[in-house]
Amino acid sequence: MLSCLLVVLLLLFSGVRNGEVVNATDGGEEFVADEVIVKLRTTQDLASIAAEYSLDPLPLDQFGSRPIFRLRITDNARVEDRVRELDSDSRVALVEPNYITKPPVGGGNTWSVGNTWSVGGDHGTFVSQWAPEKIHLPLAHQVNRGTGPNGPIKVAVLDTGVDATHPALAGHLLPGWDFVDNDNDPSEVGDQQTGPYGHGTHVAGLIALVAPEAKIIPLRVLDRHGVGNVWVLAEALVYAVDPDGNPATADGADVINLSLSTLRETQLIGTLLEKACGSGSSDSQDFPVSTNPYLVVVAAAGNGGDDTRQYPAAENVDGLIAVAASAINDTLASFSSRGSWVHVAAPGQGILSTVPNGQYGTWSGTSMAAPLVAGEAALARARFPLLLNKDLARHVIRMAESIDGDVPFRADAGIALTSDPDGNPAPLPSPTPSSTPTPSPTPTPTPTPTPLPSPTPSPSATPTPAPIKPGRRGHPS
Protein backbone atom coordinates (compact mmCIF):
# COMPACT_ATOMS: atom_id res chain seq x y z
CA MET A 1 0.00 0.00 0.00
CA LEU A 2 2.78 2.46 -0.78
CA SER A 3 0.97 5.13 -2.68
CA CYS A 4 -1.13 8.27 -3.02
CA LEU A 5 -1.16 10.59 -6.05
CA LEU A 6 -4.43 12.50 -6.07
CA VAL A 7 -6.35 13.09 -9.24
CA VAL A 8 -9.43 15.09 -8.20
CA LEU A 9 -9.13 17.45 -5.29
CA LEU A 10 -7.54 16.48 -2.22
CA LEU A 11 -7.00 16.69 1.38
CA LEU A 12 -4.14 17.66 3.53
CA PHE A 13 -3.62 16.98 7.10
CA SER A 14 -2.70 18.59 10.36
CA GLY A 15 -4.32 19.07 13.69
CA VAL A 16 -2.82 22.54 14.39
CA ARG A 17 0.72 21.52 13.90
CA ASN A 18 3.84 22.47 15.74
CA GLY A 19 6.84 22.87 13.52
CA GLU A 20 7.41 23.77 9.93
CA VAL A 21 4.77 24.17 7.28
CA VAL A 22 4.74 21.44 4.65
CA ASN A 23 4.52 22.80 1.13
CA ALA A 24 4.42 20.55 -1.90
CA THR A 25 6.30 21.24 -5.07
CA ASP A 26 4.57 22.17 -8.31
CA GLY A 27 6.70 19.90 -10.45
CA GLY A 28 6.01 16.42 -11.72
CA GLU A 29 7.20 14.48 -8.65
CA GLU A 30 4.97 11.90 -7.02
CA PHE A 31 6.38 12.45 -3.55
CA VAL A 32 8.27 15.01 -1.51
CA ALA A 33 12.01 14.70 -2.16
CA ASP A 34 14.27 13.37 0.62
CA GLU A 35 11.40 12.46 2.97
CA VAL A 36 9.84 9.26 4.28
CA ILE A 37 6.93 8.61 6.63
CA VAL A 38 7.76 5.92 9.18
CA LYS A 39 5.80 4.26 11.94
CA LEU A 40 8.09 2.44 14.39
CA ARG A 41 7.03 -0.28 16.76
CA THR A 42 8.58 1.74 19.58
CA THR A 43 9.97 5.26 19.82
CA GLN A 44 13.12 3.88 21.45
CA ASP A 45 14.20 2.56 18.04
CA LEU A 46 14.28 6.01 16.40
CA ALA A 47 17.95 6.77 17.04
CA SER A 48 19.22 3.40 15.85
CA ILE A 49 16.94 3.36 12.81
CA ALA A 50 18.06 6.90 11.87
CA ALA A 51 21.74 5.98 12.20
CA GLU A 52 21.44 2.76 10.22
CA TYR A 53 19.43 4.22 7.33
CA SER A 54 20.95 7.73 7.08
CA LEU A 55 17.92 9.56 8.42
CA ASP A 56 17.98 12.73 10.47
CA PRO A 57 17.23 11.63 14.07
CA LEU A 58 15.45 14.95 14.66
CA PRO A 59 12.05 14.36 12.99
CA LEU A 60 10.61 16.97 10.66
CA ASP A 61 7.31 16.20 12.38
CA GLN A 62 5.69 13.65 14.67
CA PHE A 63 2.10 12.45 14.52
CA GLY A 64 0.82 13.28 17.99
CA SER A 65 2.76 11.35 20.62
CA ARG A 66 2.80 8.11 18.63
CA PRO A 67 5.97 6.71 17.04
CA ILE A 68 4.92 8.01 13.60
CA PHE A 69 7.46 10.38 12.09
CA ARG A 70 8.21 12.40 8.98
CA LEU A 71 11.96 11.94 8.54
CA ARG A 72 14.56 13.53 6.27
CA ILE A 73 16.94 11.38 4.22
CA THR A 74 20.50 12.70 4.71
CA ASP A 75 22.58 10.80 2.14
CA ASN A 76 20.74 11.74 -1.09
CA ALA A 77 19.44 8.20 -1.51
CA ARG A 78 16.42 7.63 -3.74
CA VAL A 79 13.21 7.73 -1.74
CA GLU A 80 12.00 4.46 -3.28
CA ASP A 81 15.22 2.68 -2.29
CA ARG A 82 15.14 3.93 1.28
CA VAL A 83 11.49 2.90 1.63
CA ARG A 84 12.33 -0.58 0.35
CA GLU A 85 15.17 -0.94 2.85
CA LEU A 86 13.11 0.25 5.79
CA ASP A 87 10.20 -1.96 4.83
CA SER A 88 12.32 -5.05 5.42
CA ASP A 89 13.23 -4.00 8.98
CA SER A 90 11.14 -5.68 11.67
CA ARG A 91 11.34 -2.56 13.85
CA VAL A 92 9.34 -0.64 11.24
CA ALA A 93 5.56 -1.09 11.29
CA LEU A 94 4.82 1.19 8.32
CA VAL A 95 6.89 3.14 5.81
CA GLU A 96 5.98 5.04 2.66
CA PRO A 97 6.99 8.15 0.72
CA ASN A 98 5.33 11.42 1.61
CA TYR A 99 3.20 11.26 -1.50
CA ILE A 100 2.15 14.44 -3.23
CA THR A 101 -1.53 14.88 -3.93
CA LYS A 102 -2.65 16.70 -7.06
CA PRO A 103 -6.02 17.85 -8.37
CA PRO A 104 -7.36 16.37 -11.60
CA VAL A 105 -8.23 19.71 -13.12
CA GLY A 106 -4.74 21.22 -13.07
CA GLY A 107 -4.13 24.91 -13.66
CA GLY A 108 -5.76 27.48 -15.86
CA ASN A 109 -9.43 28.39 -16.21
CA THR A 110 -11.17 25.73 -14.22
CA TRP A 111 -14.56 27.35 -13.93
CA SER A 112 -16.54 29.87 -15.91
CA VAL A 113 -17.78 32.97 -14.14
CA GLY A 114 -21.49 33.59 -14.50
CA ASN A 115 -21.51 36.91 -16.37
CA THR A 116 -24.22 35.78 -18.78
CA TRP A 117 -26.88 33.13 -18.84
CA SER A 118 -24.75 30.86 -21.03
CA VAL A 119 -22.17 30.31 -18.28
CA GLY A 120 -24.34 30.48 -15.17
CA GLY A 121 -25.19 33.51 -13.15
CA ASP A 122 -26.61 34.50 -9.81
CA HIS A 123 -28.10 33.10 -6.64
CA GLY A 124 -31.44 32.53 -8.36
CA THR A 125 -29.98 30.30 -11.05
CA PHE A 126 -27.83 28.61 -8.41
CA VAL A 127 -30.82 27.39 -6.39
CA SER A 128 -33.01 26.65 -9.42
CA GLN A 129 -30.48 24.64 -11.49
CA TRP A 130 -31.20 21.07 -12.52
CA ALA A 131 -29.39 19.20 -9.76
CA PRO A 132 -31.62 20.02 -6.73
CA GLU A 133 -34.79 18.99 -8.52
CA LYS A 134 -33.11 15.84 -9.86
CA ILE A 135 -32.40 14.61 -6.32
CA HIS A 136 -35.86 15.78 -5.11
CA LEU A 137 -34.29 18.26 -2.70
CA PRO A 138 -37.50 20.29 -2.13
CA LEU A 139 -39.19 17.18 -0.78
CA ALA A 140 -36.23 16.39 1.46
CA HIS A 141 -36.32 19.93 2.86
CA GLN A 142 -39.90 19.44 3.96
CA VAL A 143 -38.52 16.79 6.32
CA ASN A 144 -35.20 18.26 7.42
CA ARG A 145 -32.77 21.01 6.43
CA GLY A 146 -29.71 19.94 8.39
CA THR A 147 -30.54 20.36 12.06
CA GLY A 148 -30.52 17.31 14.32
CA PRO A 149 -31.65 16.84 17.92
CA ASN A 150 -28.38 18.38 19.18
CA GLY A 151 -28.23 21.23 16.69
CA PRO A 152 -26.77 21.75 13.22
CA ILE A 153 -24.98 18.84 11.57
CA LYS A 154 -21.30 19.66 10.92
CA VAL A 155 -19.65 18.93 7.55
CA ALA A 156 -15.87 19.26 7.13
CA VAL A 157 -14.62 20.30 3.68
CA LEU A 158 -10.96 19.41 3.04
CA ASP A 159 -10.04 21.33 -0.08
CA THR A 160 -8.42 24.48 -1.48
CA GLY A 161 -10.02 26.62 1.21
CA VAL A 162 -13.28 28.54 1.23
CA ASP A 163 -14.07 32.19 0.50
CA ALA A 164 -15.87 33.04 3.74
CA THR A 165 -16.97 36.43 2.36
CA HIS A 166 -19.26 34.94 -0.28
CA PRO A 167 -22.83 36.12 0.48
CA ALA A 168 -24.28 32.66 -0.20
CA LEU A 169 -22.06 31.18 2.53
CA ALA A 170 -22.92 33.74 5.21
CA GLY A 171 -23.98 31.95 8.37
CA HIS A 172 -22.96 28.54 7.05
CA LEU A 173 -19.32 28.41 8.19
CA LEU A 174 -17.63 27.45 11.45
CA PRO A 175 -14.00 28.30 12.28
CA GLY A 176 -11.54 26.16 10.33
CA TRP A 177 -7.82 25.84 9.77
CA ASP A 178 -5.30 26.37 6.98
CA PHE A 179 -3.00 23.34 6.96
CA VAL A 180 -0.93 24.76 4.11
CA ASP A 181 0.13 28.00 5.80
CA ASN A 182 -0.54 26.71 9.33
CA ASP A 183 -2.89 29.47 10.45
CA ASN A 184 -6.54 29.99 11.29
CA ASP A 185 -7.52 31.53 7.94
CA PRO A 186 -8.61 28.75 5.54
CA SER A 187 -9.40 31.15 2.69
CA GLU A 188 -8.76 30.43 -0.97
CA VAL A 189 -5.29 31.57 -2.10
CA GLY A 190 -4.30 32.43 -5.67
CA ASP A 191 -6.32 33.28 -8.75
CA GLN A 192 -8.24 31.57 -11.50
CA GLN A 193 -5.15 31.20 -13.67
CA THR A 194 -3.25 29.26 -11.00
CA GLY A 195 -4.49 25.78 -10.29
CA PRO A 196 -8.00 24.88 -9.18
CA TYR A 197 -8.66 28.19 -7.46
CA GLY A 198 -12.20 28.33 -6.11
CA HIS A 199 -12.69 24.57 -5.96
CA GLY A 200 -13.26 24.48 -2.20
CA THR A 201 -15.68 27.41 -2.35
CA HIS A 202 -17.61 25.64 -5.11
CA VAL A 203 -17.83 22.47 -3.00
CA ALA A 204 -18.91 24.38 0.12
CA GLY A 205 -21.68 26.14 -1.80
CA LEU A 206 -23.18 22.82 -2.88
CA ILE A 207 -23.21 21.50 0.68
CA ALA A 208 -24.93 24.70 1.83
CA LEU A 209 -27.46 24.29 -0.99
CA VAL A 210 -28.42 20.76 0.03
CA ALA A 211 -28.19 21.16 3.81
CA PRO A 212 -28.80 24.87 4.46
CA GLU A 213 -29.00 24.50 8.24
CA ALA A 214 -25.82 22.43 8.54
CA LYS A 215 -22.51 24.07 9.40
CA ILE A 216 -19.34 23.75 7.32
CA ILE A 217 -15.84 23.38 8.77
CA PRO A 218 -13.43 24.68 6.08
CA LEU A 219 -9.99 23.05 6.08
CA ARG A 220 -7.45 24.20 3.51
CA VAL A 221 -5.23 21.31 2.49
CA LEU A 222 -4.12 22.27 -1.03
CA ASP A 223 -1.66 25.02 -1.92
CA ARG A 224 -2.22 27.61 -4.65
CA HIS A 225 -1.24 25.03 -7.29
CA GLY A 226 -3.77 22.53 -5.97
CA VAL A 227 -1.02 20.35 -4.53
CA GLY A 228 -0.71 18.76 -1.10
CA ASN A 229 0.85 15.71 0.50
CA VAL A 230 -0.12 12.73 2.60
CA TRP A 231 1.25 14.08 5.86
CA VAL A 232 -0.83 17.24 5.65
CA LEU A 233 -3.89 15.26 4.61
CA ALA A 234 -3.60 13.01 7.64
CA GLU A 235 -3.35 15.96 10.02
CA ALA A 236 -6.44 17.57 8.53
CA LEU A 237 -8.44 14.37 8.90
CA VAL A 238 -7.50 14.16 12.58
CA TYR A 239 -8.54 17.78 13.06
CA ALA A 240 -11.85 17.29 11.25
CA VAL A 241 -12.80 14.43 13.56
CA ASP A 242 -11.83 16.31 16.75
CA PRO A 243 -10.85 19.98 16.29
CA ASP A 244 -10.07 20.72 19.95
CA GLY A 245 -8.37 17.38 20.65
CA ASN A 246 -10.90 16.53 23.37
CA PRO A 247 -13.13 13.56 22.44
CA ALA A 248 -15.56 14.53 25.22
CA THR A 249 -16.63 17.68 23.34
CA ALA A 250 -18.93 17.32 20.34
CA ASP A 251 -17.11 19.73 18.04
CA GLY A 252 -16.06 17.23 15.37
CA ALA A 253 -17.56 16.74 11.95
CA ASP A 254 -20.53 14.44 11.47
CA VAL A 255 -19.73 14.22 7.75
CA ILE A 256 -16.40 14.70 5.95
CA ASN A 257 -16.34 15.64 2.26
CA LEU A 258 -13.28 14.59 0.25
CA SER A 259 -13.62 15.98 -3.25
CA LEU A 260 -10.38 14.37 -4.24
CA SER A 261 -8.97 11.12 -5.47
CA THR A 262 -5.68 9.37 -6.03
CA LEU A 263 -4.57 6.37 -8.03
CA ARG A 264 -2.52 5.18 -5.09
CA GLU A 265 -3.34 3.74 -1.71
CA THR A 266 -1.53 4.99 1.35
CA GLN A 267 -1.35 3.05 4.58
CA LEU A 268 -1.41 6.22 6.64
CA ILE A 269 -4.69 7.58 5.24
CA GLY A 270 -6.38 4.20 4.97
CA THR A 271 -5.60 3.30 8.58
CA LEU A 272 -6.65 6.71 9.86
CA LEU A 273 -10.02 6.44 8.14
CA GLU A 274 -10.50 2.94 9.49
CA LYS A 275 -9.97 4.07 13.06
CA ALA A 276 -11.90 7.34 12.70
CA CYS A 277 -14.96 5.49 11.39
CA GLY A 278 -14.71 2.68 13.91
CA SER A 279 -13.91 -0.09 11.44
CA GLY A 280 -10.20 -0.43 12.12
CA SER A 281 -8.23 -3.50 13.08
CA SER A 282 -5.99 -3.72 16.12
CA ASP A 283 -3.20 -2.21 13.99
CA SER A 284 -5.12 1.06 13.68
CA GLN A 285 -5.69 1.59 17.38
CA ASP A 286 -2.28 3.19 17.79
CA PHE A 287 -3.19 6.03 15.42
CA PRO A 288 -3.92 9.39 17.10
CA VAL A 289 -7.42 9.98 15.82
CA SER A 290 -10.68 9.78 17.75
CA THR A 291 -13.12 7.03 16.83
CA ASN A 292 -16.67 7.98 15.90
CA PRO A 293 -18.84 5.13 14.55
CA TYR A 294 -21.42 7.72 13.50
CA LEU A 295 -19.00 9.58 11.19
CA VAL A 296 -19.80 9.44 7.47
CA VAL A 297 -17.07 10.10 4.87
CA VAL A 298 -18.06 11.02 1.31
CA ALA A 299 -15.33 10.76 -1.32
CA ALA A 300 -15.26 11.65 -5.00
CA ALA A 301 -14.59 8.58 -7.16
CA GLY A 302 -12.36 10.50 -9.58
CA ASN A 303 -12.49 11.72 -13.16
CA GLY A 304 -10.66 8.85 -14.81
CA GLY A 305 -13.51 7.77 -17.11
CA ASP A 306 -12.73 4.10 -16.40
CA ASP A 307 -12.91 1.50 -13.64
CA THR A 308 -9.45 2.13 -12.20
CA ARG A 309 -9.78 2.35 -8.44
CA GLN A 310 -9.09 5.74 -6.93
CA TYR A 311 -8.52 6.53 -3.29
CA PRO A 312 -9.71 7.23 -0.67
CA ALA A 313 -13.05 6.47 -2.37
CA ALA A 314 -12.01 2.84 -2.91
CA GLU A 315 -11.08 2.28 0.74
CA ASN A 316 -13.16 -0.44 2.37
CA VAL A 317 -14.22 1.58 5.40
CA ASP A 318 -17.51 1.59 7.30
CA GLY A 319 -19.47 4.75 6.60
CA LEU A 320 -17.58 5.72 3.44
CA ILE A 321 -19.59 6.55 0.30
CA ALA A 322 -17.78 6.61 -3.07
CA VAL A 323 -19.52 8.98 -5.49
CA ALA A 324 -19.53 9.06 -9.29
CA ALA A 325 -20.91 11.90 -11.45
CA SER A 326 -24.15 11.76 -13.43
CA ALA A 327 -25.50 13.97 -16.20
CA ILE A 328 -28.80 15.81 -16.54
CA ASN A 329 -30.31 12.92 -18.55
CA ASP A 330 -29.61 10.46 -15.69
CA THR A 331 -26.70 8.72 -17.34
CA LEU A 332 -23.22 8.34 -15.95
CA ALA A 333 -21.01 11.26 -16.99
CA SER A 334 -18.41 10.15 -19.53
CA PHE A 335 -15.51 11.53 -17.48
CA SER A 336 -16.57 9.81 -14.25
CA SER A 337 -14.71 6.90 -12.76
CA ARG A 338 -16.91 3.85 -12.38
CA GLY A 339 -16.88 0.22 -11.24
CA SER A 340 -18.15 -2.07 -8.50
CA TRP A 341 -16.19 -0.10 -5.88
CA VAL A 342 -18.28 3.05 -6.59
CA HIS A 343 -21.46 3.15 -4.52
CA VAL A 344 -23.68 5.80 -6.08
CA ALA A 345 -23.72 8.63 -8.61
CA ALA A 346 -24.93 12.21 -8.14
CA PRO A 347 -25.27 15.22 -10.46
CA GLY A 348 -21.78 16.31 -11.46
CA GLN A 349 -21.93 17.72 -14.98
CA GLY A 350 -22.40 21.44 -15.53
CA ILE A 351 -22.98 22.27 -11.86
CA LEU A 352 -23.35 25.91 -10.81
CA SER A 353 -22.09 26.97 -7.40
CA THR A 354 -20.24 29.64 -5.45
CA VAL A 355 -16.75 30.76 -6.47
CA PRO A 356 -14.55 33.47 -4.93
CA ASN A 357 -15.35 37.18 -4.89
CA GLY A 358 -19.09 36.72 -4.57
CA GLN A 359 -19.44 35.11 -7.98
CA TYR A 360 -20.96 31.90 -9.33
CA GLY A 361 -19.33 29.49 -11.73
CA THR A 362 -20.04 26.23 -13.51
CA TRP A 363 -17.81 23.21 -12.96
CA SER A 364 -17.99 19.51 -13.82
CA GLY A 365 -16.52 16.55 -11.99
CA THR A 366 -17.03 14.00 -9.27
CA SER A 367 -15.78 16.81 -7.01
CA MET A 368 -19.20 18.41 -7.56
CA ALA A 369 -21.15 15.18 -7.11
CA ALA A 370 -19.56 14.35 -3.76
CA PRO A 371 -20.77 17.45 -1.86
CA LEU A 372 -24.33 16.86 -3.05
CA VAL A 373 -24.16 13.44 -1.41
CA ALA A 374 -22.36 14.88 1.64
CA GLY A 375 -25.24 17.32 2.01
CA GLU A 376 -27.73 14.47 1.69
CA ALA A 377 -25.78 12.51 4.32
CA ALA A 378 -26.04 15.55 6.63
CA LEU A 379 -29.82 15.63 6.15
CA ALA A 380 -30.04 11.89 6.78
CA ARG A 381 -27.86 12.16 9.88
CA ALA A 382 -30.18 14.84 11.26
CA ARG A 383 -33.23 12.73 10.37
CA PHE A 384 -31.84 9.45 11.75
CA PRO A 385 -29.40 10.43 14.53
CA LEU A 386 -29.02 6.94 16.00
CA LEU A 387 -27.93 5.13 12.83
CA LEU A 388 -24.34 3.92 12.86
CA ASN A 389 -22.27 5.24 9.97
CA LYS A 390 -22.36 1.98 8.02
CA ASP A 391 -26.15 1.92 8.28
CA LEU A 392 -26.55 5.58 7.35
CA ALA A 393 -24.27 5.13 4.34
CA ARG A 394 -26.24 2.03 3.33
CA HIS A 395 -29.47 4.02 3.60
CA VAL A 396 -28.18 6.81 1.34
CA ILE A 397 -26.91 4.25 -1.17
CA ARG A 398 -30.03 2.08 -1.17
CA MET A 399 -32.50 4.95 -1.36
CA ALA A 400 -31.38 5.87 -4.87
CA GLU A 401 -32.92 5.99 -8.34
CA SER A 402 -31.89 3.58 -11.08
CA ILE A 403 -29.99 5.20 -13.95
CA ASP A 404 -28.14 4.03 -17.05
CA GLY A 405 -24.43 3.35 -16.89
CA ASP A 406 -21.74 1.44 -15.04
CA VAL A 407 -22.81 3.04 -11.76
CA PRO A 408 -26.53 2.25 -12.01
CA PHE A 409 -27.83 4.28 -9.08
CA ARG A 410 -28.18 8.04 -8.57
CA ALA A 411 -28.57 9.55 -5.11
CA ASP A 412 -32.00 10.86 -4.20
CA ALA A 413 -32.39 12.99 -1.06
CA GLY A 414 -36.17 12.98 -1.30
CA ILE A 415 -36.38 9.19 -1.14
CA ALA A 416 -33.75 8.97 1.61
CA LEU A 417 -35.53 11.49 3.85
CA THR A 418 -39.03 10.10 3.34
CA SER A 419 -38.08 6.43 3.76
CA ASP A 420 -37.06 4.71 6.95
CA PRO A 421 -33.77 2.79 7.12
CA ASP A 422 -35.54 -0.40 6.11
CA GLY A 423 -36.67 1.15 2.84
CA ASN A 424 -40.29 1.80 3.76
CA PRO A 425 -42.02 5.18 3.72
CA ALA A 426 -41.14 6.87 7.00
CA PRO A 427 -43.49 8.91 9.17
CA LEU A 428 -42.55 12.58 9.27
CA PRO A 429 -41.37 14.06 12.57
CA SER A 430 -44.20 15.04 14.89
CA PRO A 431 -44.86 18.78 15.15
CA THR A 432 -43.99 18.48 18.85
CA PRO A 433 -41.30 15.82 19.13
CA SER A 434 -40.30 14.57 22.51
CA SER A 435 -36.70 14.56 23.67
CA THR A 436 -34.76 11.84 21.92
CA PRO A 437 -31.30 10.43 22.45
CA THR A 438 -28.56 11.48 20.08
CA PRO A 439 -25.06 10.10 19.65
CA SER A 440 -21.95 11.97 20.73
CA PRO A 441 -18.54 11.18 19.23
CA THR A 442 -16.37 9.35 21.77
CA PRO A 443 -12.85 7.96 21.73
CA THR A 444 -14.12 4.40 22.02
CA PRO A 445 -15.34 2.17 19.17
CA THR A 446 -18.77 1.76 20.76
CA PRO A 447 -20.04 5.02 22.25
CA THR A 448 -23.36 5.09 24.03
CA PRO A 449 -25.79 7.73 22.72
CA THR A 450 -26.68 10.19 25.48
CA PRO A 451 -30.11 11.77 26.01
CA LEU A 452 -30.65 15.44 25.38
CA PRO A 453 -31.23 17.64 28.41
CA SER A 454 -34.22 19.36 26.84
CA PRO A 455 -36.62 18.85 23.95
CA THR A 456 -35.63 20.05 20.52
CA PRO A 457 -37.67 23.07 19.34
CA SER A 458 -40.31 21.84 16.96
CA PRO A 459 -40.29 22.91 13.33
CA SER A 460 -43.04 25.04 11.96
CA ALA A 461 -45.93 23.12 10.55
CA THR A 462 -45.63 22.14 6.90
CA PRO A 463 -47.89 20.14 4.65
CA THR A 464 -47.16 16.45 4.80
CA PRO A 465 -45.22 15.58 1.64
CA ALA A 466 -46.18 12.52 -0.30
CA PRO A 467 -43.31 10.04 -0.42
CA ILE A 468 -41.85 9.42 -3.85
CA LYS A 469 -42.96 6.16 -5.29
CA PRO A 470 -39.98 3.82 -5.14
CA GLY A 471 -40.77 2.11 -8.41
CA ARG A 472 -37.32 2.66 -9.95
CA ARG A 473 -35.41 2.14 -6.76
CA GLY A 474 -33.62 -1.17 -6.66
CA HIS A 475 -30.20 -0.86 -5.09
CA PRO A 476 -29.11 -4.08 -3.40
CA SER A 477 -28.63 -4.06 0.35
Catalytic residues: 159, 199, 367
Please report, in angstroms and rounded to a whole number, the separation of the first and last CA atoms in the chain. 29
Give the 3-state secondary structure of 296-349. Answer: EEEEECCCCCCCCCCECCCCCCCCEEEEEEECCCCEECCCCCCCCCCCEEEECC
Task: Determine the Cα–Cα distance for residues 378 and 296; give it in Å rounded to an integer.
Answer: 9
Taking alpha carbons only, the member of 61, 118, 13, 32 closest to residue 362 is 118
Closest to 308 (Cα-Cα) out of 264, 266, 349: 264
Residue 427: count of CB within 10 angstroms of its CB: 9
Q: At what angle do helices 389-398 and 366-383 cross, to 10 degrees?
A: 120
CA distance 384 to 360: 33
CA separation for the pair 107, 200 (Å, rounded): 15
Q: Is the dihedral of CA 75, 76, 81, 87 positive or negative?
A: positive
Edge to edge, the sheet with strand 400-402 lists 177-178, 215-220, 154-159, 255-258, 296-300, 320-326, 344-347, 409-411, 400-402
